Structure 1
Amino acid sequence: MGKDLLLKLERETLLQLTPEQLVNIIVEQAIAIEKLNSRILELEEKVEKLKISRDLDSKTSSKPP
């Protein structure tokens, strides 16, 4: 199954697919969702670290300006 099919998941198209094809789509989507969730967590951690480093200036940090 190609990515073109995944991009065009219209109701009529889905109704014409076999159960095996539908399961394949679900599995591919689950994998994509897991990758996206991991990336979101990674980016959220990075944002938090950046917020902390932004808030540490020469007045609140032991580092010189």
Structure 2
Amino acid sequence: MQRLINFFRDTGREMRKVSWPKRGELIRYTIIVIATVTVFALFFAVLDLGISELIRLILE
């Protein structure tokens, strides 16, 4: 039980040392992540569509 208490105490101590991002940084990073995921999703959707059409043409 003491090990568990020590773990949470040490975790709390370490969390106070963390350099948390400011609100502006957090918003900017969030927008960058959402934009990057959107671009990659669109890229792979178009790639998938192209490969599907190519396979459909080959099999006909």
TM-score, normalized by length of structure 1?
A: 0.58
1:41 aligned onto 2:56: no
Specify which structure has the higher proportion of helix. Answer: 2
Matching residue of 1:25: 29
Structure 1 stretches lacking a partner, 5+ long: 1-13, 57-65
Computed over aligned residues only, the root mean square deviation of the Cα atoms, in angstroms, reads 1.6
Q: Which has the higher contact order (CA 8 A, sep 6+)?
A: 1
Q: What number of residue pairs does the alignment pair up?
A: 43
- Runs ≥4 residues deviating over 4 A: none
Deviation at 1:50, TM superposition (A): 1.1
Structure 2 stretches lacking a partner, 5+ long: 1-17
